[in-house]
Structure 1
Amino acid sequence: MTLRRQVQFWLISLAVFCLFLYVFSGVLLPFVAGMAVAYLLDPVCDRLEKLGMARMWATLTILFAFVFLLVLFFILILPLLGNQLALFLERFPDLVRKLQTLLSEYFPADLATVAGINPEDLQSSMSDLIGQGASFVGKLAQSLWSGGQALLSILSLFVITPVVAFYLLLDWDRMVERIDGWIPRDHLGEIRGLAAEMDGAVAGFVRGQVSVCLILGAFYAIALAVVGLNFGLLIGMAAGLVSFIPFVGAGLGLVLSIGVALVQFWPEWPWIIAVAAIFGVGQFLEGNILQPKLVGDSTGLHPVTLMFALFAFGYLFGFVGMLVAVPAAAMIGVLARFGLKQYLASPVYKGIGRATPVGDDKVSE
């Protein structure tokens, strides 16, 4: 097969895959979630096998433990988060008004005048910005809820997803071996190398970053609750879960926490400083301990690329697209680096064997 036909084949395959996601996005959620759970837990299953446990019993043990923790979360933590979210949305306009009043009262008007800033204009701009932000968050939450209802339904969450995860986890090694048998023999080593690099990138991000997000979410939530911050559990969990985008989760959590802390604790500065210190400690733990140990440098995903992939896949395919955005971006990054490497080693880049430009030949008289 010529290079042109190979490119056509893979482009057609990509188009068919995207069309499949678009058409069946409404029913794919539990199956994609089951695949994600199986991929996430496969190393644990392999480790139990090495300890002498049969694959069947290792799979059952892991899934029972996973479902038990999930049910525990839904019974104990989710109702509390739901109550805090409802209360936060109810009190949000009042919090914004109090924060605006506090800033206008203590904002140095003379300094603002010297800097060419009108305090009233600043307050109006802040009001518009906060209103737009609240509207965007509301629309995003509504979109995610409408696209993720299948995943959140009882049938999908407690029946279909665990069943899919069970069968995939049980047959994972056999499926990998069978797919390996379909690889063209002429390119076996090259494709295996690309697959290993993709697996390292996806595993480094998904498995490692999930652990980082859960640890940071628990830390922020517990620490803010201990300080006594209103909605601390909700803000901390949200900041931890968004921490897969560098600095975004901590930044949003810090802004929300400081805003709530100013309204709640002012003028008691020690408590406000304590809230800010919690996020400082969290960033230190993430940058110096959690990220190097659990994620490392194997992902190759730039934060801008990650955000673009999440928005693009989410816009095109809904909540299913957001689930596959990170693995797809990691795979595309591996293929892009491979293509760039091939280009840099090709005659197209080096100019080997190019024709001599007209006028360079010496014309003998």
Structure 2
Amino acid sequence: MTLRNQVLIWIGFLVVLILTLWVFRAILLPFVVGAALAYLLNPLVNQLQKLRFGRGWATLIVLLAVIMVVMSLLLTFLPLIGQQIIELLQRAPKYVADLQELFARWSPEINEWLGPERAAQVQTSINDLARQALGFIATLPGELVNIGLTGAAVIGLTVLTPVVAFYLLLDWEGMVRGVEGLLPQEHKGEINAILRDIDKSMAGVIRGQGGVLLIDAAFYATALSLIGLNFGLAVGLIAGLLSFIPFMGFIFGFGLSVGIALVQFWPNWWMVAVVGGVFLFWQFIEGNILYPKLVGSSININPVWMMFALLALGAVFGFVGLLLAVPMAAIASVLVRFGVRKYKESALYLGHNGDDNGTPDKL
């Protein structure tokens, strides 16, 4: 088979996959989460198998243990988190008004420091941001419905996800063998090498980055609650869970926490500085310790490409697209690197009509 035909076949397969995801996007959420959970837990199941547990028993034990831990955390913290989120949404307009009042009180000092023209621009920007924040808060319930986070969807997610994860874990080895059996024999070694790179990148995304995300959420929620910041638990969890978007968790958490701290602790600047310092300190720890240890260079995705993938897939597939964006970006980066490497080995790049034996290049 010629290189052209192989490329056309893979492009056709990709188009069919995208169309399938788009057609069934409304029901994909439990399957996507279940598949991610199965991929995450498969190493634990494999470890239990080495201890002479059967695959079925190992899958059941691991999945039940995870469900019990998750349910315990939800029953312990979910009522408090839900209450804080609702109160934060209700009090957001008052916080914004208080912040505007504080900035108006500081306006003489700001005018003296920045000059009247620059100070007016800053005040206009603050008012615009306040209006946008209030508009986002007002439309948030509707947006949650639009992305599928309704009561029925949540119930379907909680019921179907463990079932999907169980059956995927139960037959994981069989599925892997089935995929390997479908690979073209001529290029099996090369395709297996690509799949290993994809597995490494996916492990960095789901296991490594997922671990960083959970640690971020736990630290921010604990630190802000211990400081005594209003709604610290909810703000910390949201900031940590938003960390999968490059810089978004830090920017959102820092801005919201400092804004609440200004209203709550003013004129005690030390407490405001402590709240801001929590995020600056943890950003240093995350960038220099957590990411190198838990993720390393396995993902190797440019943050701009990551943000584009999140926006593009989110716009097309909704909430499911947001979940798929990071792993799909990881897979795409592996394939692009492979394509670039093959291009640099090709006659098109090297400037001759074939290899040393005069035969055309193969995939």
**Residue 195 (structure 1) shift:** 0.3
**Residue 141 (structure 1) shift:** 6.1
1:211 matched to which residue of 2?
A: 211
**Residue 285 (structure 1) shift:** 2.0
Q: 1:238 aligned to 2:238?
A: yes
Query: Can you list the C-alpha shifts for 1:238-290, whole angstroms capped at 9, x where unaligned?
Result: 11111123332112111111110001001112211111121122112212221
Tell me the distance in 2 between the aligned counterparts of 1:188 and 1:137.
Answer: 52
Tell me the distance in 1 between the aligned counterparts of 2:13 and 2:134.
Answer: 40
Tell me the distance in 2 between the aligned counterparts of 1:7 and 1:227.
Answer: 57
Matched residue type, 2:235: I
Find the structure with the greater CA-based Rg: 1
Q: For residues 152 and 85 of structure 1, do their structure 2 counterparts lie closer, same or farther at Cα, with a shift above 3 Å needed?
A: farther
Tell me the distance in 1 between the aligned counterparts of 2:131 and 2:27.
Answer: 34
Matched residue type, 1:67: I
2:115 matched to which residue of 1?
A: 114
Matched residue type, 2:56: M
**Residue 17 (structure 1) shift:** 1.0
Partner SS for 2:27: coil
Tell me the distance in 2 between the aligned counterparts of 1:154 and 1:266.
Answer: 40
1:359 matched to which residue of 2?
A: none
Matched residue type, 1:187: H
Matched residue type, 2:115: V
Tell me the distance in 1 between the aligned counterparts of 2:117 and 2:352.
Answer: 61
Q: 1:71 aligned to 2:71?
A: yes
Q: 1:271 aligned to 2:271?
A: yes
The 5 Å alignment of 1:228-307 reads 228-307=228-307
Identity rate, percent: 46
Q: For residues 36 and 219 of structure 1, do their structure 2 counterparts lie closer, same or farther at Cα, with a shift above 3 Å needed?
A: same
The 5 Å alignment of 1:173-212 reads 173-212=173-212
Query: Can you list the C-alpha shifts for 1:219-245, whole angstroms capped at 9, x where unaligned?
Result: 110110011001111110011111123
**Superposition RMSD in Å:** 2.0
Q: For residues 133 and 6 of structure 1, do their structure 2 counterparts lie closer, same or farther at Cα, with a shift above 3 Å needed?
A: farther
**Residue 126 (structure 1) shift:** 1.1
Tell me the distance in 1 between the aligned counterparts of 2:236 and 2:45.
Answer: 31
Tell me the distance in 1 between the aligned counterparts of 2:24 and 2:151.
Answer: 14
**Residue 292 (structure 1) shift:** 1.2
TM-score w.r.t. the length of structure 1 is 0.91
1:22 matched to which residue of 2?
A: 22
2:349 matched to which residue of 1?
A: 349
Q: 1:221 aligned to 2:212?
A: no
Question: Which shows bigger deviation, 32-41 or 275-284?
Answer: 275-284
Q: Say if 1:29 and 1:151, in contact at 8 Å, map to a contact too.
A: no
Give the gaps of 5 or more residues in structure 2: 355-363
Q: For residues 249 and 114 of structure 1, do their structure 2 counterparts lie closer, same or farther at Cα, with a shift above 3 Å needed?
A: same
2:361 matched to which residue of 1?
A: none
Tell me the distance in 1 between the aligned counterparts of 2:190 and 2:150.
Answer: 39
Matched residue type, 1:290: L
1:52 matched to which residue of 2?
A: 52
**Residue 53 (structure 1) shift:** 2.5
Give the gaps of 5 or more residues in structure 1: 355-365
Query: Can you list the C-alpha shifts for 1:126-170, whole angstroms capped at 9, x where unaligned?
Result: 112221244346546633443233697454233211111001011
Matched residue type, 2:89: L
The 5 Å alignment of 1:330-349 reads 330-349=330-349
Partner SS for 1:352: coil
TM-score w.r.t. the length of structure 2 is 0.91
Query: Can you list the C-alpha shifts for 1:165-208, whole angstroms capped at 9, x where unaligned?
Result: 00101111111011101111100110000000011111111111
Q: Say if 2:144 and 2:150, in contact at 8 Å, map to a contact too.
A: no
Q: For residues 152 and 197 of structure 1, do their structure 2 counterparts lie closer, same or farther at Cα, with a shift above 3 Å needed?
A: farther
Tell me the distance in 2 between the aligned counterparts of 1:3 and 1:317.
Answer: 32
Tell me the distance in 1 between the aligned counterparts of 2:221 and 2:188.
Answer: 48
Q: Say if 1:265 and 1:272, in contact at 8 Å, map to a contact too.
A: yes
Tell me the distance in 2 between the aligned counterparts of 1:266 and 1:138.
Answer: 27
Tell me the distance in 1 between the aligned counterparts of 2:114 and 2:184.
Answer: 72
Q: Say if 1:299 and 1:330, in contact at 8 Å, map to a contact too.
A: yes
How many aligned positions are there?
353
1:363 matched to which residue of 2?
A: none
**Residue 118 (structure 1) shift:** 4.1
**Residue 336 (structure 1) shift:** 0.7
1:358 matched to which residue of 2?
A: none
**Residue 74 (structure 1) shift:** 2.8
Tell me the distance in 2 between the aligned counterparts of 1:113 and 1:281.
Answer: 29
1:31 matched to which residue of 2?
A: 31
Tell me the distance in 2 between the aligned counterparts of 1:168 and 1:349.
Answer: 43
Question: Which shows bigger deviation, 342-351 or 175-184?
Answer: 342-351
